[in-house]
Amino acid sequence: MTARSQTRCGEYIGVNESRLRQPDPRPEDDAYEYDTEVAVSLVRTLTVLLALLSPQMLRDPGYDLRDRPFLLVCLAVLIFNIGIGYAAYRRLRLPLTRRPGMLAIDLALATLWVSFTGAESKSELFPLYYLITIVAALWFGVSGALLVAALSTFSYTFACFTGSEEVPDVLRVSLGIHVPFLFLVALSVGYLAQAQEAERRRRAEEQRIRSNLQREVEISRGVQKLLIPQTLPQVAGLDIGAKERTSRQAGGGDYYDVFVLEEDKVAICIADVMGKSLSAQSRLPMLKYALHGLVTQHLPPEQVVSHLNALLYDALYPDMPVTLAYAVVDVKRRCLTLCNAGHPPLLRLSGDGVLQGLRADAPMLGLFHPNDPRYQPYQSTTWTLQAGDVLVFYTDGVVEARSPQHEEFGEERLCAIVAQHRDASAQGIAETIVRAVNSFERSRHLDDVTVVVVKLLPQESTGGR
């Protein structure tokens, strides 16, 4: 069962982490690019229709609808435009040169129109180059817009020289008004387009990060459900309850478990892997199954913790140490033996109402190898218990929870809640503590919260979850 559960945890993490690395099958960037191409195709269609109507609109068109070459050009453009628009609408991938090619065709068409038009109407068609320059700015930014503006100026000048004898008058108007304004449009629209593109990419990246974070949180919750006990054992003379709450950040690292060692002995373990990531949480299965193997040997708490440190040292890394508290409650002898490896102190509310923190501090797991000169052997401490005692194991997410005003929940609030609800069941006390933390931090869930409560009942009583 242990090997199967460990395999399930590994497969769960591996499969879902691979999902995080997979790109979207239809990225937002491509959708944005295709949408602009559809818009440009629509503008091109309107421009061709305008060309067909221009003999009735221009003062000196120089052509009419009976000109076969002109009609053939318009028909070819419409066919080309419909093909491009349909490809963009269906998200079909065209060659990488499609956009430069489309701009080159638009420049050629505008220049041909200017060439066919009479001298008095040439300057009236110059705004066509504004449209082409704006499209270039949207697609290629400032540099592309300036290049197209320069090519437009050259093309317009070429059309004027080849199609009119009144070149000086036409160029005087264009060079004095239209061309400077064309470059101004190229610069302004290009800068705006680049700023918009940067903002769009920033938002898209934020959305991808939020999506990945949400997926990691879902993975974290799924893994944690596989690791923590679904039911707690019923032990005569004890009432045991537990409540956990995962953070909204990825990679919760809290863990707890309860073991029945003998008929009148129970072991409680609570731990927290430092760091909020799936890498940190992936250490929990190793911790759980190493602990399960040691518990069956009925070793004293200090030996269990010492062996855990030696077994997990290489897997934890210096930046992922584990705080852990391992305690054995002997119901018959009314005593508690605790080994605390850097974990928050165990809170004890005695039957006569005295509150105290039971500390047996030792280094966190994974900091020092047993062969390291700085390593100190783990020690345990034993306390005598009495009927009515309430023992509260918790992770640092309880006392370090912060309100929106950055006030810390603290041990005093925790002690007050335990004292106020001491007559409730162990499960009721655990749930009350978690609810209080949620309310204090306005349900922001910045860190994992785990609470295990053990109540020592009179000899004639029995307890359960």
Ranking 61-70, 188-197, 375-384 by mean pLDDT, the lowest is: 61-70
Percent of the chain with pLDDT over 90: 25
Looking at residue 52, its pLDDT comes to 65
Domain count, the chain: 2
| pLDDT grade for 112, boundaries at 50, 70 and 90 | confident
Question: Of 178, 208, 238, which residue sits at a domain end?
Answer: 208
Highest-confidence segment of 129-138, 160-169, 171-180: 129-138
Same domain, 193 and 259: no
Q: Nearest 5°: CA angle at 245, between 239 and 246? A: 145
In a domain, 239, yes or no: yes
For the segment 135-142, the average pLDDT, to the nearest whole number, is 87
Same domain, 372 and 251: yes
Buried b (16+ CB within 10 A) or exposed e, 296-307: eeeeebbebbbb
pLDDT tens for 207-250 read: 888 887 777 777 766 777 777 888 899 899 999 999 988 877 65
The CATH number covering residue 342 comes to 3.60.40.10
Same domain, 62 and 95: yes
Same domain, 154 and 234: no
Sheet with 238-245, edge to edge strand ranges: 238-245, 449-456, 390-394, 346-349, 355-358
pLDDT tens for 271-302 read: 988 766 666 677 788 888 899 989 989 899 99
Same domain, 50 and 191: yes
Residue with the bigger pLDDT between 94 and 350: it is 350
Looking at residue 19, its pLDDT comes to 43
> What is the chain's mean pLDDT, rounded?
79
In a domain, 80, yes or no: yes
Same domain, 76 and 125: yes
For the segment 418-430, the average pLDDT, to the nearest whole number, is 93
376, amino acid identity: Q
Same domain, 36 and 180: yes
21, amino acid identity: R
Structure tokens at 223: 């893994």
Q: State the Rg of the chain over Cα.
A: 37
In a domain, 266, yes or no: yes
Looking at residue 304, its pLDDT comes to 94
Ranking 318-327, 332-341, 393-402 by mean pLDDT, the lowest is: 318-327
Residue 257: pLDDT above 80?
yes
Q: Are 85 and 38 in contact (CB under 8 A)?
A: yes
Residue 30: pLDDT above 70?
no
Residue 174: pLDDT above 70?
no
Question: Of 208, 242, 260, which residue sits at a domain end?
Answer: 208
351, amino acid identity: G
For the segment 421-431, the average pLDDT, to the nearest whole number, is 94
Buried b (16+ CB within 10 A) or exposed e, 128-160: bbbbbbbbbbbbbbbebbbebbebbbebbbebb
In a domain, 9, yes or no: no
Q: What is the DSSP letter of 25?
A: S
Same domain, 312 and 396: yes
Residue 147: pLDDT above 60?
yes
In a domain, 13, yes or no: no
In a domain, 168, yes or no: yes
Question: Of 149, 179, 208, which residue sits at a domain end?
Answer: 208
Same domain, 138 and 258: no
In a domain, 394, yes or no: yes
Same domain, 368 and 245: yes
Distance CA 244, CA 375 (A): 32
Residue 77: pLDDT above 80?
no
* CB neighbourhood size of 387 (10 A): 15
Ranking 182-191, 339-348, 357-366 by mean pLDDT, the lowest is: 357-366
Looking at residue 329, its pLDDT comes to 95
Residue 92: pLDDT above 90?
no
**Helix, strand or coil, per DSSP, at residue 193:** helix
pTM summary value: 0.61
| pLDDT grade for 20, boundaries at 50, 70 and 90 | very low
Same domain, 164 and 312: no
Looking at residue 5, its pLDDT comes to 43
195, amino acid identity: A
Same domain, 274 and 394: yes
In a domain, 107, yes or no: yes
For the segment 397-407, the average pLDDT, to the nearest whole number, is 89
Looking at residue 64, its pLDDT comes to 56
Q: Which domain holds residue 262?
A: 229-456
Residue 17: pLDDT above 50?
no
